[in-house]
């Protein structure tokens, strides 16, 4: 229950602090709302433009399959394509294709409206300064009646304004020599601006606007989006990025076919020469031996030809192709080149290894465009390529050995037919050998020629690797800023910002600023609260007045009866505080005057002899001899008592001169005798004493007092002083302690009403 009460009090404190500082929140809301309106008026509206593409399979091998050969799991291939689409090189190509290096805009009210399709200005940099070559500068053109006003600005220092008759001539500016061209007639009512930056900065700026991401995990669908005030430009730029990506990918894909075509052309040139030599040898042999009936004379060879001989030709063809590839792999100058594929090798293991090698090498080339050589992915691919290259060489050696074994087996079988041929005339044998050499070259030539045509068809194919699912289009719902949403955000910020300042203020504020919290924490009775005196006078109560301050002092006067010991006839009440400035002299003066108005004889004694204030409060300048009384036995009580001038029942005993030994004076017997006499003459004796946290004077007066009033001041007394007062109460260093909270705001006063009655009931 107690915890709930504490929480309730804390909530009330927060609400009270908010209400007390309501003008903070009013100013905050007004400021942020005006800031939001200014932002909305000056900020050009922005839209989101996006497009969606789907990756196709390439050359019969899906990208996921290609990357799985690298030992990578997941959709790494698609992730790599995201990197490629978001690369600087691709963005540079797209910007260059659309000529977006300079940003041109025209003044539209308080905003700048960008131009894309037909920009009003173009810039030619003839001789820029060294700083302008590496920085961004702005050229502003305004058409006037007599010509054009051209302003250049680069930073805070490099600025210039030039007036020219035409824009076609070179202009000397703060950024160097430039030439501004007007692509169309400029309006005299508009101002045109051109922003020129380094190409690296332009590319970086557009890359910040571009977002490339997978539609979802393990998906081949990629989304490209841009957000800017120029959706038409964004549509063109995204479209150009996709186009350049497809062109680059087609070039990469055709690199294998191009390399293969070059390889086949080289082989065809060699085979053509050998075939021509074989044909010439047959012709020469026929001429030399006067052989006319080729059908009859070759009949023996044709009959001896068998399936083994055709297989032998096939084996020799495959050996030749394998030797070509082996020589290519062992050539160190072609280590980073694609291996010729689709040249007719029949061994599946060699074909698979070559396809795997080329796929990884192509992927490495594409990643290397946006990565450095020390990239871990590049290193991993280099290791994979080296391993696969060695595997291909080893596979070729194994396949060659297998083919040689089969070749020997076929030749053994073929020797049986050769014996029959040997029985034929020697001329026919030589002719058969010449025909066979010609036939081998011819079949190899025809085979390579067929592969060249197939490779040409592959090279001519134009299938793009990225299929456009959704063309670049502006999202009409994505317009920002939205006025109502912006004003709502500004309204919330207008509340949060002052709330944050108020929290920081309260966090570092160690003053007593909550009357309820003060009453709850203090261990002594609370006599009441005193509001700030609006009249700024030291005397706040007068006979016949019913002001709020007067009523509050009357409340304190009433509550005193319930706190004072009942057996004391003439109580001596000490009024003190913890530190200077809390208002103890103000409280003691007005409390004494309140008792005097009630008809009681009251003596107000000034014993704050280090900093006396009573004489000033009652206008008793240069009067008061209490310190003389304590040091000089010839001074009598009648000599130190002064009428207050405010009421006939109130007498003042001002302190007088500040002595050099205040502590010793407060311990003299004459002080005890003085208060004994005052008890006989007055109904109440109110003593204004020194602050207890600064000096020990008040503790020395405890022997002659019956009660102590501690004065704390709202938003002035440190909160730690509450614990200091509680320590005094716990230790009993002063008698019958009660408290008064001074300087409370008028709207918060009154929490202490009726406290004395509650205490009586207890």
When pLDDT is averaged across residues 383-394 and rounded to a whole number, the result is 84
Look at residues 336, 315, 334, 313 and name the one whose alpha carbon lies nearest to residue 325.
334
Specify whether 8 is located in the same domain as 137: no
pLDDT for the residue 758: 33
Specify whether 595 is located in the same domain as 658: yes
247 CB neighbour count, 10 Å cutoff? 12
63 lies in a domain?
A: no
Final residue belonging to a domain, choices 434, 461, 488: 461
Specify whether 270 is located in the same domain as 211: no
Q: What's the pLDDT band for 538 if we cut at 50, 70, 90? A: confident
Kindly state the percentage of the chain with pLDDT values over 70.
82
Q: What's the pLDDT band for 615 if we cut at 50, 70, 90? A: confident
12 CB neighbour count, 10 Å cutoff? 13
How do residues 244-301 score in pLDDT, each as one tens digit?
888 887 777 676 667 777 777 777 777 777 767 776 776 776 676 655 554 454 454 5
56 lies in a domain?
A: no
Residues in contact with 390: Cβ distance below 8 Å, sequence separation at least 6, in sequence order? none
Instruction: Kindly tell me if the per-residue pLDDT of 703 is higher than 50.
Output: yes
Instruction: Kindly tell me if the per-residue pLDDT of 536 is higher than 80.
Output: no
Specify whether 337 is located in the same domain as 424: yes
Contact call for residues 458 and 342 (beta carbons, < 8 A): yes
658 lies in a domain?
A: yes
When pLDDT is averaged across residues 617-646 and rounded to a whole number, the result is 84
Specify whether 587 is located in the same domain as 683: yes
Specify whether 621 is located in the same domain as 754: yes
Provide the H-helix boundaries in 423-547: 426-460, 483-508, 515-521
Q: What's the pLDDT band for 428 if we cut at 50, 70, 90? A: low
pLDDT for the residue 253: 67
Kindly state the percentage of the chain with pLDDT values over 90.
30
CATH number of the domain that residue 593 is part of:
3.40.50.300
Specify whether 268 is located in the same domain as 195: no
How do residues 128-140 score in pLDDT, each as one tens digit?
999 899 999 999 9
Residue numbers of the domain that contains 591? 515-761
How would you classify residue 736: left for phi > 0, otherwise alpha for psi between -120 and 50, otherwise beta?
left
Instruction: Kindly tell me if the per-residue pLDDT of 431 is higher than 80.
Output: no
When pLDDT is averaged across residues 315-338 and rounded to a whole number, the result is 78
Specify whether 581 is located in the same domain as 683: yes
How do residues 188-220 score in pLDDT, each as one tens digit?
889 999 999 999 999 999 999 999 998 887 788
Which of 154-158, 421-425, 443-447, 727-731 shows the lowest mean pLDDT across its residues?
421-425
What is the Cα–Cα distance from 139 to 160, expressed in whole angstroms? 10
Specify whether 195 is located in the same domain as 160: yes
Q: Is pLDDT larger for residue 39 or for residue 623?
A: 39
Strand partners, 558: none
CA 37 vs CA 357, 478, 485: distances in Å: 61, 20, 11
Phi, psi of 476 (to 5 degrees): -65, -20
What is the Cα–Cα distance from 678 to 655, expressed in whole angstroms? 16
When pLDDT is averaged across residues 365-390 and rounded to a whole number, the result is 75
pLDDT for the residue 520: 87
How do residues 446-476 score in pLDDT, each as one tens digit?
777 777 777 666 666 556 677 888 889 988 8
Q: What's the pLDDT band for 26 if we cut at 50, 70, 90? A: very high
Concatenated DSSP letters for 512-538? Answer: ---HHHHHHH-SS-EEEEEE--TT--S
Final residue belonging to a domain, choices 426, 443, 461: 461
What is the Cα–Cα distance from 125 to 47, expressed in whole angstroms? 32
CA 477 vs CA 44, 394, 688: distances in Å: 16, 61, 75
Instruction: Kindly tell me if the per-residue pLDDT of 622 is higher than 70.
Output: no
Instruction: Kindly tell me if the per-residue pLDDT of 412 is higher than 60.
Output: yes
Specify whether 297 is located in the same domain as 426: yes
Long-range contacts of 530-538 (CB under 8 A, 24+ apart): 530/556, 530/583, 530/587, 530/740, 530/741, 530/742, 530/743, 530/744, 530/749, 531/743, 531/744, 531/745, 531/746, 531/749, 532/743, 532/744, 532/745, 532/746, 534/746, 538/586, 538/589, 538/616, 538/617, 538/618
Instruction: Kindly tell me if the per-residue pLDDT of 744 is higher than 70.
Output: yes
What is the Cα–Cα distance from 429 to 417, expressed in whole angstroms? 12
Question: SS in 3 state form for 702-720?
Answer: HHHCCEEEEEEECCCCECH
Which of 357-366, 436-445, 568-577 shows the lowest mean pLDDT across its residues?
436-445
What is the Cα–Cα distance from 411 to 405, expressed in whole angstroms? 10
Q: Is pLDDT larger for residue 249 or for residue 372?
A: 249
Specify whether 223 is located in the same domain as 265: no
Tracing tokens 């570092």 back to the chain, one arrives at 508
- Report the relative pairing of strands 684-688 and 526-531 from DSSP bridges: unpaired
Specify whether 399 is located in the same domain as 325: yes
When pLDDT is averaged across residues 659-667 and rounded to a whole number, the result is 84
Six-digit token string for 459: 């090279």
pLDDT for the residue 25: 92
Structural domain total, the chain: 4
Final residue belonging to a domain, choices 398, 427, 461: 461
315 lies in a domain?
A: yes
484 lies in a domain?
A: no
647 lies in a domain?
A: yes
The number of residues making up the chain comes to: 762
What is the Cα–Cα distance from 204 to 404, expressed in whole angstroms? 60
70 lies in a domain?
A: no
How do residues 40-87 score in pLDDT, each as one tens digit?
888 889 999 999 998 875 544 444 443 343 333 445 667 878 888 888
Q: Is pLDDT larger for residue 602 or for residue 303?
A: 602
483 lies in a domain?
A: no
Mean pLDDT, the chain, integer: 81
Phi, psi of 267 (to 5 degrees): -65, -40
């Amino acid at each position: 229950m107690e915890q709930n009460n504490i929480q309730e009090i804390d909530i009330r404190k927060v609400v009270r602090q908010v209400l007390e500082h309501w003008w903070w929140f009013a100013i905050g809301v007004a400021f942020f709302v005006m800031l939001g309106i200014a932002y909305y008026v000056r900020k050009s509206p922005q839209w989101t433009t996006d497009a969606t593409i789907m990756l196709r399979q390439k050359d019969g091998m899906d990208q996921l399959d290609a990357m799985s050969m690298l030992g990578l799991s997941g959709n790494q291939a698609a992730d790599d394509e995201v990197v490629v689409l978001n690369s600087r090189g691709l963005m540079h190509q797209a910007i260059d294709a659309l000529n977006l290096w300079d940003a041109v805009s025209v003044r539209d009210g308080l905003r700048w409206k960008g131009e894309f399709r037909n920009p009003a200005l173009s810039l030619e940099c003839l001789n820029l300064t060294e700083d302008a070559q590496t920085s961004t500068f702005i050229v502003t053109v305004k058409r006037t009646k007599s010509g054009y006003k051209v302003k250049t600005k680069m930073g805070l220092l490099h600025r210039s304004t030039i007036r020219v008759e035409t824009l076609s001539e070179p202009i000397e500016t703060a950024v160097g020599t430039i030439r501004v061209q007007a692509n169309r007639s400029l309006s005299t009512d508009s101002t045109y601006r051109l922003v020129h930056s380094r190409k690296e900065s332009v590319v970086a700026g557009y890359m910040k606007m571009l977002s490339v991401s997978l539609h979802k995990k393990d998906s081949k669908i990629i989304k490209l989006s841009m957000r800017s005030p120029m959706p038409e430009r964004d549509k063109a730029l995204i479209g150009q990025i996709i186009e350049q990506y497809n062109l680059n990918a087609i070039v990469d894909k055709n690199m294998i076919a191009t390399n293969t075509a070059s390889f086949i052309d080289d082989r065809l040139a060699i085979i053509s020469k050998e075939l021509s030599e074989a044909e010439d040898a047959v012709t020469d042999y026929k001429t030399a031996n006067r052989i006319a009936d080729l059908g009859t004379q070759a009949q023996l060879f044709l009959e001896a030809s068998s399936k083994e001989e055709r297989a032998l030709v096939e084996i020799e063809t495959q050996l030749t192709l394998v030797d070509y590839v082996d020589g290519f792999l062992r050539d160190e100058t072609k280590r980073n080149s694609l291996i010729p594929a689709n040249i007719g090798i029949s061994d599946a293991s060699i074909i698979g290894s070559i396809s795997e090698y080329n796929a990884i090498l192509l992927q490495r080339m594409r990643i290397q465009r946006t990565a450095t050589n020390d990239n871990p992915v590049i290193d991993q691919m280099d290791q994979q390529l080296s391993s696969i290259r060695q595997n291909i060489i080893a596979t070729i050696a194994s396949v060659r050995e297998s083919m040689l074994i089969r070749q020997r087996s076929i030749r053994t079988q073929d020797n049986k037919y050769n014996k029959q041929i040997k029985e034929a005339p020697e001329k026919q044998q030589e002719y058969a050998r010449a025909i066979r050499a010609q036939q081998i070259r011819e079949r190899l030539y025809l085979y390579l020629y067929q592969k060249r045509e197939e490779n040409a068809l592959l090279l001519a194919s134009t299938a793009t690797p990225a299929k456009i699912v959704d063309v670049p289009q502006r999202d009409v719902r994505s317009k920002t800023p939205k006025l109502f949403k912006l004003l709502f955000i500004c309204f919330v910020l207008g509340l949060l910002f002052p709330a944050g300042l108020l929290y920081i203020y309260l966090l570092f504020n160690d003053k007593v600023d909550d009357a309820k919290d003060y009453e709850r924490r203090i261990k002594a009775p609370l006599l009441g609260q005193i509001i700030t005196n609006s009249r700024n006078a030291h005397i706040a109560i007068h006979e016949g007045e019913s002001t709020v301050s007067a009523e509050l002092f009357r409340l304190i006067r009433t509550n005193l009866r319930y706190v004072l010991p009942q057996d004391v006839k003439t109580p001596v009440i000490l009024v003190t505080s913890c530190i200077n400035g809390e208002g103890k002299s103000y409280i003691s003066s007005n409390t004494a005057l309140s008792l005097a108005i009630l008809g009681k004889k009251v003596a107000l004694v000034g014993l704050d002899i280090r900093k006396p204030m009573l004489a000033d409060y009652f206008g008793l300048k240069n009067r008061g001899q209490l310190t003389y009384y304590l040091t000089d036995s010839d001074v009598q009580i009648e000599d130190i008592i002064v009428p207050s001038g405010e009421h006939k029942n109130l007498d003042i005993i001002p302190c007088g001169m500040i002595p050099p030994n205040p502590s010793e004076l407060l311990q003299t017997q004459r002080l005890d005798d003085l208060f004994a006499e005052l008890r006989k003459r007055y109904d109440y004796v109110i003593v204004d004493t020194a602050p207890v946290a600064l000096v020990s004077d008040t503790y020395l007066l405890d022997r002659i007092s019956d009660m102590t009033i501690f004065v704390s001041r709202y938003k002035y007394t440190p909160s730690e002083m509450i614990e200091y007062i509680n320590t005094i109460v716990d230790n009993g260093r002063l008698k019958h302690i009660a408290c008064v909270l001074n300087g409370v705001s008028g709207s918060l006063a009154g929490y202490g009403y009726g406290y004395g009655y509650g205490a009586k009931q207890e």
